Structure formats: C-alpha cells, structure tokens
Amino acid sequence: MTLQVRPLTLNDFEQVRPMLLDMGFVEDEALLAERFPAFCQHPKWAMLGAFEGETLLGYAAAQDYGPDLRSGDSHRTAKLHDLYTAPAARRTGVGRELMRAVEGWGRARGLRYVFWYANLREATPAYVGMGYPAGEEVQEGYRFFEIDFGEANTRIPHPERGS
C-alpha cells in the first residue's frame, strides 16, 4: 500500500463525510457540510487525509490552541480531535501514518504538546499499539494521551524541577 498524507480540501468532503458521520456526535449533516471548508482552510487546524491513489482511507483533525496566557509558546498545545481509519484499512498502517503527519505538523508549528482522549474499547489499544503510552483514566471510559515535544530535562512539571 502506497499512502500519501496531505491536507484535506473541499473536494475531499464526499469521501470524508461518511467517516465524520461514523465518528458520531454530528448534530446536523447540512451544517457539517457548511463547516468543513472553513476547517480545511483555518490556519490553526490540521485536517489531514491518508490517500491510496484517489481513495481516502482515513483522516486526522487537530487544533493548535495557540500561545498560552502564562507561558506563551513554550507550552503551546494542540488537541487531536479525530483520528479515523476506514474499517477495511484498519491495521494496515493508515493510523500510524496519520499520527506521524500530526507529529510533523506539531513540530513544524513549534508545539510543546499534542493531547487527546481515546475510548477504552478500540482507540486506546490502537494508540498503545502505535507506541503511545496511555495516561490515567481522566474521563469515564476514556484515556488521556499526550506527545511532549520538549527536551527530556524539561518534561518534569515546573514545581517538581525546582526552578
């Protein structure tokens, strides 16, 4: 399988639409179609698709929260909102390639963290299988995950570093 991960465009909506619906929590399909172009073009969002040829096999959506009030860019954080792989393409590396693309996007933006929550059923085992360590359960039925792009000596919270 030869995958190409690239930003999603308005022209990709018909392929990504069933994936968005399968993820759930879509209040209004018509509004989803109206919102999609703005998210694809928004400078603080990464809307990435994994394609084999012209066929979309999965997508990722992440949001850069911008500078922090207290720490500016030194603790700049993004949230991975969605990572979806088409059922027929699961366990083929699509999710892993999308996560690599999200990590590349985060590094290129100078982020310190990318975090997300994953359900305990399918998602947590998938992320753990990709090598991401699960944090403690912080919401009923979900695990917390985080990528820290900082240097190892800065990963200890400030009060514990003693500085």
- What is the model's pTM? 0.89
pLDDT tens digits, 66-99: 988 888 888 899 999 999 999 999 999 999 999 9
Rounded to the nearest angstrom, the gap between the alpha carbon of residue 141 and the centroid of all alpha carbons in its chain is 19
Give percent of the chain above pLDDT 70.
Answer: 91
pLDDT at 162: 43
Is 159 a residue whose pLDDT tops 60? Answer: no
Cα–Cα distance between 107 and 113 in angstroms, integer? 9
| β-pairing verdict for 45-52 and 113-119 | unpaired
Confidence grade of residue 154 (pLDDT, cut at 50, 70, 90): low
Is 161 a residue whose pLDDT tops 50? Answer: no
pLDDT tens digits, 29-53: 999 999 999 999 999 999 999 999 9
* Cβ(112)–Cβ(76) below 8 Å: yes
pLDDT at 157: 53
Amino acid at 59: Y
**Average of per-residue pLDDT values in the chain:** 90
CATH superfamily, domain 4-161, is Gcn5-related N-acetyltransferase (GNAT) (3.40.630.30)
Is 153 a residue whose pLDDT tops 50? Answer: yes
